[in-house]
């Protein structure tokens, strides 16, 4: 079977590298275009020597300038691993040429452009495509994703929070105004660009909260709980932390049950029923750890009731289920391939 070439714009970042790695073990996709905005597009092997000797027939070794016509001539789908504003520049040009787009940035995640502008500090410039973009959480919107030309790949923190909370809101088990999401991410969540607070001296052997009460993912989590959880009054207190490790997200989530009689078995039963046939969600009897999910596309969930509170623990890898793995899951659906293709190999 001939492979389907796809483009990666922004291949020199962490989500770009992760996509290349995933496509190398994908049964049907290959990389047709590595698009860089640098004046002299680099060799991807020079950027990431771990790719040396592994690309033959599966990806070019050199990045190329981003040429929308040439990409459309060779690729059916493009992954945008770019800053939000750059994604808003390239997505319309690719969509107009018939290329399907999976955007890993936040450019098309928030439905209301005013909420986007407030969270991201710049105006939304592509309202036309924002209106038809599908929020790409397959466990909640599989059929819409299959028919979409533009998928907004969810944020890393919102993916774990939504998968933990939506089934419980739908089942009417927790109070939507009572939710606290206490989350921690490895440093790759902030991207590859050098930042002083991410150096080993600052972040290593350390642990810190950031973005308390004003993190950009808070409105995204609330939007999903409203739209998919059906909880109009959802309010989330979201506190992210920086973990001194490379990759992984662990979220401990607290909520008040609607009835005092709610037991651990009730909450776990809702999880088990919601995710019985989901290939990438595992419901655990014990709280998961990051090691259980690193370098996999899985989300591990556990729920219990302690002292009258529902406590949920969700773990995922920010670069796979939180970004590039989920992007492949979405692309598989958009291209009519098996949803798990290329994602279950160990
Ligand atoms: N890291 C995560 O865990 C994660 C999770 C979910 C979503 N995301 C989102 O995914 C996107 C990519 O994240 P990342 O972590 O891969 O970022 P990154 O490591 O900083 O990489 C960004 C990529 O975009 C390129 N780029 C920067 N400015 C550009 C421009 N104006 N035009 C074209 N290319 C440009 C960079 O190229 P150069 O090498 O030339 O700078 C690089 O290839 C971001 O929007 C991020 O918010 C990230």
Ligand 1: which atom is nearest the Cα of residue 11?
43
**211 within ligand 1 shell (Cβ under 6 A):** no
Quote the CA–CA distance of 226 and 234 in Å, as a whole number: 6
**321 within ligand 1 shell (Cβ under 6 A):** no
Whether the predicted model's global pTM rises above the 0.85 cut: yes
Do 64 and 203 lie in one domain? The reply is: no
pLDDT number for residue 57: 86
Residue 73 inside a domain? The answer is yes
> Tell me, what CATH number does 276's domain have?
3.30.360.10
Which residue among 7, 11, 13, 86 has the greatest number of ligand 1 atoms within 8 angstroms of its CB, and so is best to mutate?
13
pLDDT number for residue 346: 54
Q: Considering 98, 132, 166, which residue would you say is the last residue of a domain?
A: 132
Strand, coil or helix: what is 305?
Answer: strand
Quote the CA–CA distance of 205 and 171 in Å, as a whole number: 41
pLDDT number for residue 1: 65
User: Structural domain of residue 22, as residue ranges?
Assistant: 4-132
Q: What is the pLDDT of residues 253-294, one digit of tens each?
A: 999 999 999 999 999 999 999 999 999 999 999 999 999 999
**CA 81 to centroid of ligand 1, rounded, Å:** 5
| Closest C-alpha among 231, 236, 228, 232 to residue 172 | 231
Residue 90 inside a domain? The answer is yes
* Residues of the chain scoring pLDDT < 50: none
pLDDT number for residue 87: 98
**14 within ligand 1 shell (Cβ under 6 A):** yes
Do 118 and 71 lie in one domain? The reply is: yes
What is the residue with the minimal CA distance to atom 4 of ligand 1? 189
Quote the CA–CA distance of 50 and 17 in Å, as a whole number: 10
Do 27 and 96 lie in one domain? The reply is: yes
Residue 208's beta-bridge partner residues? 242
**CA 86 to centroid of ligand 1, rounded, Å:** 9
**156 within ligand 1 shell (Cβ under 6 A):** yes
Q: How many domains does the chain have?
A: 2
Contact 315, 243 (CB under 8 A): no
pLDDT number for residue 14: 98
Strand, coil or helix: what is 300?
Answer: strand
Do 75 and 200 lie in one domain? The reply is: no
| Catalytic annotation present for 156 | yes
Do 168 and 112 lie in one domain? The reply is: no
Q: What is the pLDDT of residues 308-339, one digit of tens each?
A: 999 999 999 999 999 999 999 999 999 999 99
- Which DSSP letter does residue 41 get? P
**CA 190 to centroid of ligand 1, rounded, Å:** 9
Residue 201 inside a domain? The answer is yes
């Amino acid at each position: 079977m001939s492979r389907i070439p796809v483009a990666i714009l922004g291949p020199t970042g962490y989500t770009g590298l992760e996509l290349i790695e995933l496509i190398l073990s994908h049964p049907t996709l290959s990389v047709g275009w590595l698009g860089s905005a640098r004046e002299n597009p680099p060799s991807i092997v020079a950027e990431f020597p771990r790719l040396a000797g592994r690309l033959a027939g599966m990806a070019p070794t050199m990045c190329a300038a981003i040429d929308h016509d040439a990409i459309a001539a060779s690729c059916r789908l493009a992954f945008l691993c770019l800053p939000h504003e750059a994604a808003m520049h390239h997505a319309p040009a690719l969509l107009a040429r018939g290329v399907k787009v999976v955007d890993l940035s936040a450019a098309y995640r928030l439905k209301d452009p005013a909420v986007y502008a407030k969270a991201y500090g710049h105006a939304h410039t592509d309202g036309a495509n924002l209106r038809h973009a599908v929020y790409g959480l397959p466990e909640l919107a599989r059929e819409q994703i299959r028919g979409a030309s533009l998928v907004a790949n969810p944020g890393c923190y919102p993916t774990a929070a939504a998968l933990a909370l939506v089934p419980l809101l739908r089942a009417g088990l927790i109070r939507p105004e009572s939710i606290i999401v206490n989350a921690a991410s490895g440093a790759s969540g902030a991207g590859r660009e050098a930042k002083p607070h991410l150096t080993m001296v600052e972040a290593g052997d350390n642990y810190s909260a950031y973005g308390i009460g004003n993190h950009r993912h808070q409105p995204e989590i609330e939007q999903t709980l409203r739209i998919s959880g059906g909880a109009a009054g959802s309010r989330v207190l979201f506190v992210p932390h920086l973990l001194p490790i490379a990759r992984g997200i662990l979220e401990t989530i607290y909520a008040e049950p609607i009835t005092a009689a709610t037991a651990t078995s009730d909450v776990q039963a809702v999880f088990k029923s919601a995710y019985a046939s989901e290939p990438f969600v595992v419901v655990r009897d014990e709280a998961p750890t990051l090691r259980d999910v690193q370098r996999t596309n899985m989300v591990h969930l556990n729920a219990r009731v302690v002292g009258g509170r529902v406590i949920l623990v969700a773990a995922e890898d920010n670069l796979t289920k939180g970004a590039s793995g989920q992007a492949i899951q979405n692309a598989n659906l958009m291209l009519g391939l098996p949803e798990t293709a290329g994602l279950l190999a160990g």
